[in-house]
Structure 1
Amino acid sequence: MVNVGIVGGSGYTGVQLVALLIRHPEVTVRWVTSRKFEGQPFYETFGALRSLTNLSFVRFTPELLDEVDVVFTAVPHGQAMDIVAVIAGHGKRVIDLSADFRFQDVAAYEQAYQHHTAPELAKKAIYGLPELFFGEIQEADLVGNPGCYPTSAILAAAPLIREGGWNARIPLIVDSKSGVSGAGREPNLTTHFPEADEGLMPYKVLTHRHQPEIAAIIAGAGGEGEVYFVPHLVPMNRGIISTAYIPLKEAMELSEVHGMYETFYAGKPFVRVLPPGKAPSTHHVRGSNFCDVGLTLSQDGKTLVAMTAIDNLIKGASGQAVQNMNIMMGFEETLGLEQPPLFP
């Protein structure tokens, strides 16, 4: 049995972590922290878990680390790096859900975010996308859990990139649409109901902080070229659809591309490659750790349109974090994550 702590449990990723981990057959959640709700029963903040857990929020102190083997950190970027340094200093394994440990290139992180106070740790952290880095995650002490948009974008493009099929003289374009829970639990004007409902809005066009994360992993997979990323806010609670437009070095048949993706994702239990020409839907992954991948080609066979659907709070955050923990601890990758999507 693995003893687990969660630093920062009062947001959407925090409640999803608790919901997944209290059902995990090999995990005991020892504590969950929140400064704002210290001393309050967890179910008073998140009524959905009433009668399912007796946890109460506590304030984080280093002494808590004596009780656990693994720590999930689910606090905003900039706050995580100092906390993770303390946890790592106590010899505990960490899965960080902020952006602070997604970049081994510290300069790239600092350009997109802010000054990094634990650069040596960042250089050692493993990017926690199991479909690409399973072996590295097995040996890792610190995993930087990917962002929600990058998860969907990279899984759309990775098989073709790894096979060297992208004509990198032409930019790869990723168009993504996300539900409002991706903005977090703190209210703001953009996600206020009258502002978001019945509307569709692109935002941070070509300037979103997830763009360099996507570009870095694609470059590491062999794709040395420009990546254009355009996110959109859609009026739904959860889910991401990403569509990647990938120029090909040479014309291909859809059956050839489809076979490439099926081969690449064979044995990767949470990626479902749909039949050729079929598009994914957020309805079919909601509440699950699945990523559905749809593929189609332009008429001339020279542009691949690769589409993915994920639940931004599960495969895009907490579910993927549990998947990473399973790999790090030698458990079955799917343990505690077998729940089917919620439909309708």
Structure 2
Amino acid sequence: MADAIRVAILGASGYTGAELLRVLLRHPRVRIVALTADRKAGEGIDTVFPQFTGINLPKLVTIKEVDWSGVDAVFCALPHGTTQEVIAGLPQHLKIVDLSADFRLRDIAEYAKWYGHEHRAPKLQQEAVYGLTELYRKDVAAARLVANPGCYPTSAELPLIPLLQADQIDPDDIVIDAKSGVSGAGRALKEGSLYCEASEGTHAYGIASHRHGPEIEQMLSEAVGRPIVVNFTPHLMPMNRGMLSSIYVKTRPGVSADDLRATLLQRYANEPFIQVLPQGVAPQTRHVRGTNMTHIGVFADRVKGRAMLFSAIDNLMKGASGQAVQNFNVMYGLPETMGLEQIALFP
């Protein structure tokens, strides 16, 4: 392809790296020229992920071995805390989408508080654009470095921000009860991700301390123009992928659940990856599995003056790799849906 955009995936041996590869192999403007994975360097990607057997792809190498003169864009799927120094050392000609949390929090003091170490690239943090595509598209289009949002924040911010901006809900009374598949914990060996630990049950975790909490509050606070705090609790579900956020809100006087739904319908009417579902229809994770879609449902609570929002995404797609490719398309002025036209894998 003479007009191909040459792409490197850093951290290709993780779940989000594999998902990026799955999507980008179908992207008509992308040529994958480098795949990195330090511990697996020298191996073929098909030995790490056999689903890529028979596909001609570069061997895995270390980041130091990449010839950056032959790369146009980078997807960085490295662990939190390791990305800042890597990106700071990359050439300026590269456009970068970072899937870690390293550039999502604008306040570097807040980052240090939640991630346990000082921010290692504060100048780059000033340059980074928060990449919730539907709400920050213009910023993404002009960016060199995009901080791809977290999965829980994506599922919560998409339904909440338009309603906060319309002053239809009370910003000081928001409860986010969110559930994620086990792939959200990554591919590294962890006791809590073992089959016997995660199957046939569910549990809350990161209670009042999950790192996505401050990210959610940062973006919701921007929507209302003052600091707010939300009640956010994540839960681990015994499934591979998927995310459902159940969000409980207090409506402003005279505002009904139908009004909330009308605002979301109007805001997202022309968005290819957001569907506000018909009245009475609740989102299900199985209906977005393997896609970049967000399904949103709005219901009146039986308690007067309250409403319930439900948001379903695939945590590996709209919550990570799919949204990263969506941002990449915007950065290059390509059709936003390019490479992302998958229909849900159901059943």
| TM-score class, shorter | over 0.9
Provide the TM-score with structure 2 as the length reference.
0.96
Equivalent-residue separation in structure 2 for 1:118 and 1:296 (angstroms): 43
Is the 1:161–1:223 Cα contact (8 Å) retained in structure 2? no
CA distance in 2, matches of 1:77, 1:159: 29
- Summarize deviations over 1:263-295 as a string: whole Å, max 9, x none: 111211100100122110001000000010010
Structure 2 counterpart of 1:302? 305
SS in 2 for 1:293: strand
Using the alignment, how far apart are the partners of 1:247 and 1:253 within structure 2?
Answer: 10
| Contact 1:171-1:227 at 8 Å conserved across structures | yes
Q: Please tell me the root mean square deviation across aligned C-alpha atoms, in Å.
A: 1.3
Q: Which runs of 5+ in 2 are unaligned?
A: none
2:20 alignment partner AA: L
Counterpart of 1:230 (choices 216, 228, 233) is 233
What SS does structure 2 have at the residue aligned with 1:306? Answer: strand
Alpha carbons 2:34, 2:66 under 8 Å: kept: no
Mapped pair 1:220 → 2:250: no
Q: Quote the offset at 1:302 in angstroms.
A: 1.6
Mapped to 1, the partners of 2:81 and 2:315 lie a distance apart of: 21
Task: Trace 1:92-107 onto structure 2 (pairs within 5 A).
Answer: 92-107=94-109
* Counterpart position of 2:211: 209
Tell me, yes or no, if structure 1 residue 316 matches structure 2 residue 305: no
Aligned to 1:28: 31
Letter in 1 for 2:198: A
Task: Say which of 70, 73, 90 aligns to 2:76.
Answer: 73
Cα deviation, residue 223, structure 1: 6.3
- Paired letter, 1:16: E
Q: Is the 8 A contact 2:168 2:255 kept in 1?
A: no
Cα deviation per residue 1:182-201 (whole Å; 9 max; x = unaligned)? 00111211111111111110
For 1:341 and 1:237, the matched residues in 2 are separated by 15
| Match in the other structure for 1:155 | 158
Q: Within 2, Cα distance between the matches of 1:213 and 1:234? A: 22
Q: Distance in 1 between matches of 2:284 and 2:56?
A: 32
Structure 2 Cα separation of the partners of residues 62 and 71 of structure 1? 15
Q: Which residue of 1 aligns with 2:141?
A: 138
Secondary structure of 2:134's aligned partner: helix
Offset at 1:233? 0.5
Summarize deviations over 1:232-272 as a string: whole Å, max 9, x none: 00100000000111112224233322111001112111001
- TM-score (structure 1 length as normaliser): 0.96
Q: Structure 1: which amino acid aligns with 2:201?
A: G
Over 3 Å off, 4+ runs:
none
Checking the alignment, whether the CA contact within 8 Å between 1:270 and 1:290 is kept in structure 2 is yes
Displacement after TM superposition at 1:300 (Å): 5.2
Give 1:107 deviation, angstroms: 1.5
Describe the superposition over 1:92-151 as per-residue Cα deviations: whole angstroms up to 9, x where unpaired: 111000000112221221111121110111122100101110000000000000011111
* Residue of 335, 338, 343 corresponding to 2:338: 335
**Structure-1 residue corresponding to 2:54:** 51
Following superposition, the deviation at residue 63 of structure 1 comes to 5.3
Q: How many residues align?
A: 342
For the residues of structure 1 that align with 2:191 and 2:57, how far apart are their CA atoms?
A: 34
Structure 1 segments unaligned to the other structure (5+ residues): none
The answer to whether the 8 A contact 1:145-1:320 is kept is: yes
Shift of 1:62: 7.0
Q: Secondary structure at the match of 2:89?
A: helix
1:119 aligned partner: 122
Tell me the equivalent position of 1:5.
8
